[in-house]
Amino acid sequence: MYKILAKEELAPRIKKMWVEAPRVARQAKPGHFIIIRLHERGERIPLTIADMDPERGAIMMVFQEMGKTTEELGSYRVGDALADVLGPLGKIVPPRRVGTVLCVGGGVGVAPIYPRARELCQVGNRVVAVVGSRCKDLLIMQKEMEEACHEVHYCTDDGSFGHHGLVTDLLPQLIELERPAEVLAIGPVPMMRAVAQVTRQYNVPTIVSLNAMMVDGTGMCGACRVTVGGEVRFTCVDGPEFDGHQVDFAQLASRLRQFAEEERLALQRYHERKEGCQCQTNG
Ligand SMILES: Cc1cc2nc3c(=O)[nH]c(=O)nc-3n(C[C@H](O)[C@H](O)[C@H](O)COP(=O)(O)OP(=O)(O)OC[C@H]3O[C@@H](n4cnc5c(N)ncnc54)[C@H](O)[C@@H]3O)c2cc1C
Ligand code: FES
């Protein structure tokens, strides 16, 4: 069992947890992810390792409550334990010194961008970040990003903090100014797709981290298949980072929607069970 050592709410429905997992913590590198299972009847979901502390034998996860499993995880408390933590998973490309790197993070995508930005800085790059969210209250890990990067620009959809608009609004002027050797974008699929469309016009190599549907995480089940440069690739073993200019984002978006009805029903049943338990306790 993997004990929860600390828990914090970073924003509405976005939580951070440190979990005891000594073997994973010792081997994890920025860009790795884990597949967790909350309990014996739970489904397996992938989450990025947002930070690691090998001495304490712990890893950090930052997650957004999107449906049944992430909502149930959000209800876990310090001292509770997860049944399984499988990892570290994913193919890691060691950070290279290339000059300037633009890191673009959207929503909860800021959590996986943070350890990558920090290591890109540590190997001698200038790292400029663009962080976006729907509103000021949903901006997470500002302090960590400002410590890890040389410069951070903020955007909110409603204008409550930083630039009023999307992260892609700022990209053309930042690309002209900074002349980045690379762009790294992690966030919702429409954001990564839009970033890749902008950077393609400027010929700037762009890495994206794909959040494809996953089950086994070993390249066996095929659930996480994506098309990159016309070839089928498995996100769990070949990724999750890929060349953003080669990804078939329309296919990825459509595959992520394919179980929408089952996901809605699973969440509804979870709420009904929870309400049932509360009635029994109160009654
Ligand atoms: C490599 C990788 C790293 C990720 N890292 C993070 C992270 O650090 N923080 C975070 O908040 N989210 C992360 N995600 C997304 C996270 O796995 C989903 O939000 C989670 O699985 C939703 O499960 P649910 O039961 O709460 O919601 P559901 O209602 O089941 O699903 C909500 C949406 O989440 C996606 N999803 C559902 N099941 C899976 C699954 N088994 N695998 C992948 N996506 C799924 C689908 O788009 C779905 O529409 C990552 C995904 C991948 C592939
Ligand atoms: S999750 Fe099964 S092949 Fe990748």
**What CA–CA distance (Å, rounded) separates 239 from 147?**
27
Q: Which residue in the block uniquely carries the two structure tokens 């892609």?
A: 168
Contact between 225 and 200 (Cβ < 8 Å): no
- Give the residue whose CA is nearest to atom 13 of ligand 1: 47
Q: Which residues line ligand 2 (CB under 6 A)?
A: 214-217, 219-224, 234, 236
**What CA–CA distance (Å, rounded) separates 26 from 28?**
6
Separation of CA 15 and ligand 1 centre (Å): 14
The residue-averaged pLDDT of 62-85 equals 95
**Residues 10-32: tens digit of each pLDDT:** 999 999 999 999 999 999 999 99
**What CA–CA distance (Å, rounded) separates 209 from 211?**
7
| pLDDT for res 277 | 74
Of ligand 2's listed atoms, the one at least distance from the Cα of 234 is 4
pTM, 2 dp: 0.92
Amino acid at 4: I
| First-to-final CA distance of the chain | 33
Percentage of the chain modeled with pLDDT above 90: 87
Separation of CA 207 and ligand 2 centre (Å): 20
Could you say which ligand is closest to the alpha carbon of residue 210?
1
- 3-state SS assignment for residue 113: helix
Of ligand 2's listed atoms, the one at least distance from the Cα of 224 is 4
**Residues 229-269: tens digit of each pLDDT:** 999 999 999 999 999 999 999 999 998 888 778 888 888 88
Which of 60-64, 76-80, 272-276 bottoms out in mean pLDDT, i.e. has the lowest?
272-276
User: What fold, for 100-256?
Assistant: Rossmann fold (3.40.50)
| pLDDT for res 279 | 66
Among 3.40.50.300, 2.40.30.10, 3.30.360.10, 3.20.20.140, name the CATH number for the domain at 2-89: 2.40.30.10
Same fold, 2-89 and 100-256: no
Of ligand 1's listed atoms, the one at least distance from the Cα of 259 is 49
**Residues 149-197: tens digit of each pLDDT:** 999 999 999 999 999 999 999 999 999 999 999 999 999 999 999 999 9
Contact between 155 and 132 (Cβ < 8 Å): yes
The residue-averaged pLDDT of 202-218 equals 94
CB of 242 within 6 A of ligand 1: the answer is: no
Residue 153's beta-bridge partner residues?
A: 130
pLDDT band at 282 (very low <50, low <70, confident <90, very high): low
pLDDT band at 110 (very low <50, low <70, confident <90, very high): very high
| pLDDT for res 280 | 67
Helices (DSSP H) in the chain: which residue ranges?
A: 22-27, 68-75, 110-122, 142-148, 167-178, 189-201, 235-238, 249-256, 260-282
Q: Which residue in the block uniquely carries the two structure tokens 């690379």?
A: 182
| pLDDT for res 230 | 96
**Would you kindly state where each structural domain of the chain is located, as residue ranges?**
2-89, 100-256
Phi, psi of 134 (to 5 degrees): -70, -40
| pLDDT for res 81 | 97
* CA-angle at 136, arms to 130 and 141, nearest 5°: 55
Separation of CA 211 and ligand 1 centre (Å): 7
- Give the residue whose CA is nearest to atom 7 of ligand 1: 47
Percentage of the chain modeled with pLDDT above 70: 98
